[in-house]
Amino acid sequence: MAERVYPRLIAARLRGQASYRASFALLCVASALSQLVELAVILVLFNRVDALGGFSVDEVVLVYALAGVAFGLADLVAGQLDELPTHLRTGTFDVLLLRPLSTLAQVMASDLHLRKIGRTLASAVVLVYALVHNDIAWSPLTAPLVLVAPISGAVIFSAVWVIAGSICFWLIDGQELANSVTYGSSAFTSYPATVYGPWLRRFFAFVVPGAFVAYYPALALLDRPDPLGGPALLGWASPLVAAVTAVVAGLVWRFAVRHYRGTGS
């Protein structure tokens, strides 16, 4: 049943947004520009320095682009979890429990914003630029990594979104705390991990596995040793980390929903 319901629900929402073509196009452009503004910040930094954390401007742009595509895809799929505190406060989450469908999938499909695709497309264009302007160690393994890394990163981001959103089942006003993890990890992954201090690097690299979104895959693509001393295999570990993170996110969400008691009347 769910296999038929979700595609129809998503398709209906997408048709509704695409019907206002001018508005949709403008929103996509605005989303793309907001992403490019972050790139401009990087370029401004390199007007003052020759390297950032031991990485050249083109190498930093590669990290930024991989992270941008991954976060854009995750935002498109899981960004609706930002509305979870509203569902919990108003009691509308109880309605989701009455339906014979996954509550997580219902929240994710509740209000898809197709305009967010502009962010992903802008990052994809930057990624193509970075691949052309870096000395990529092309091989039968690195070529698929260009596709696998952003998808794995999107899964990691989505899983982090789910785990962070689950906090709101216990802290109804915990949205700011959740945002500090989701959007904070997005900011962390846009730069090489070497630019951060040890404690911040350890937290966002391994507790929140942000380093596996772009930093380690970029090292694999560039065939560079990790300045932090990590083994080269970490550059290929993103799919495994994504799978583990997704399983953990599913368990955390399931635990949170099972202990949800409603907001009362």
Segment 221-231, tens digit of pLDDT: 999 999 888 89
Q: Do residues 220 and 59 touch, judged by C-beta distance below 8 A?
A: no
Q: Copy the structure tokens of residue 180.
A: 């500090």
Q: Give me the mean pLDDT over the 28-35 stretch.
A: 74
Q: Give me the mean pLDDT over the 64-88 stretch.
A: 87
Q: What is the pLDDT of residues 166-188, one digit of tens each?
A: 888 887 666 677 777 777 778 88
Bridge partner residues of 55 (DSSP): 52
Q: What is the pLDDT of residues 109-143, one digit of tens each?
A: 776 666 678 788 889 999 999 999 999 988 888 89
CA of 83: how far to CAs of 29, 89, 132, 208, in Å? Answer: 24, 10, 39, 21
Q: Which residue from 102, 105, 111, 62 is spatially nearest to 83, judged by alpha carbons? A: 111
* CB atoms near residue 132 (< 10 Å): 9
pLDDT at 146: 94
Q: Domain containing 240: what range?
A: 2-258
Check residue 139 and report its DSSP letter: S
Amino acid type, 105: A
Please count the structural domains in the chain: 1
49 within a domain of the structure (yes/no): yes
| Confidence label for 156 from pLDDT (cuts 50, 70 and 90) | very high
Q: Do residues 215 and 63 touch, judged by C-beta distance below 8 A?
A: yes
pLDDT at 248: 95
263 within a domain of the structure (yes/no): no
265 within a domain of the structure (yes/no): no
pLDDT at 59 exceeding the cut of 70: yes
- Rounded CA gap, 75 and 85, in Å? 17
Q: What percent of the chain has pLDDT over 70?
A: 85
pLDDT at 169: 85
Q: 27-41, 84-98, 230-244, 248-262: which range is least confident on average?
A: 27-41
Q: Which residue from 40, 26, 118 is spatially nearest to 75, judged by alpha carbons? A: 118
pLDDT at 154: 94
Q: Give me the mean pLDDT over the 72-82 stretch.
A: 86
Alpha helices in the chain (DSSP H): 2-18, 21-45, 57-78, 84-90, 93-98, 103-108, 117-133, 142-166, 175-189, 198-202, 215-222, 238-258
Vertex 37: Cα angle to 152 and 144 (nearest 5): 25
